[in-house]
Amino acid sequence: MKINVNKIDDLFTNYKKSGKTAFIPFISIGDPDIETSFEIAKTLISNGADMIELGYPFSDPMADGKVIQKSYERALKNRVSMADAFNFIERLREISEIPVIFFTYYNPIFAYNPSKFAEEASAAGIDGILVVDLPPEESDELKKFTDEKNLDQIFLLAPTSDASRIKLVASYAKGFVYYVSVTGVTGARKSLPAEMRSKVNEIKKIKDIPVGIGFGISNPEQVKEIKNYADAIIIGSKIIQFIEDNLNDKKNIIKNIAEFSYSIKSSLM
């Protein structure tokens, strides 16, 4: 099968030259249903998303807060399979060349077969993989397959990561490093830690690699501050909350997400 031409590096290279910060929204495939989630993805793309992170629903999402947990529960009720997820991305590829990050846990990949997963992920048009419960020191089996298919395996760093941990993650990292802004699970927060800037600087001193910040970002005011030192802003729970709040009104889901996405993108200009 054809190997992807990876677009993540190109995007960050171009944005660095022009001083831009990327907007990466997160949604769950199949929430509230496959077709509506596809419309949400299209809406995000048309309202400013530079890259999109697509979550594969999993029954034990230990890194995710209640909003994303409920999102996965809704998607699982729709019996979303790996084949459905790849088909979703193939359809997205027909309308957009936006870089796609596939967010998942390792159990679904292991059950599917890591080699088969990497091959089909590449064929579907995925650019990066974020396996949230797979640290670098346990990632070699999957990494040999993702490297063969030119899929960036993205790793996490946290406020508690010391210099030795940053060096280890940086040595494995491709595409960008995902910096978790707060300790704990995902979820929109009214305030974010003041030390994020110094932590991003510490990461970049160890390796010149883009850093995306996620977990807790929920409004344009936060984005205006973070864009001064982050290469990407990642927002998930706030977007998914619009789905939860409007489950009986799909038009309102699309409307609210479009307006929010536009406001975030405008804050990055």
Q: Where are the beta strands (DSSP E) in 105-160?
A: 128-131, 152-154, 156-157
* Six-digit token string for 228: 């001064």
245 annotated active-site: no
Residue 133: which residues within 8 A CB-CB, separation 6 or more?
A: 62, 63, 105, 106
From 50, 64, 120, 127, the catalytic residue: 64
39 annotated active-site: no
Give the CA distances from residue 230 to residues 16, 26, 38, 54, 260, in Å, rounded to whole numbers and listed in that order.
Answer: 11, 17, 28, 21, 20
From 31, 50, 53, 231, the catalytic residue: 53
Angle (nearest 5°) at CA 117 between 82 and 50: 75
What's CA 251's distance to the chain center, in Å? 24
Residue 33: which residues within 8 A CB-CB, separation 6 or more?
A: 78
Catalytic machinery residues: 53, 64
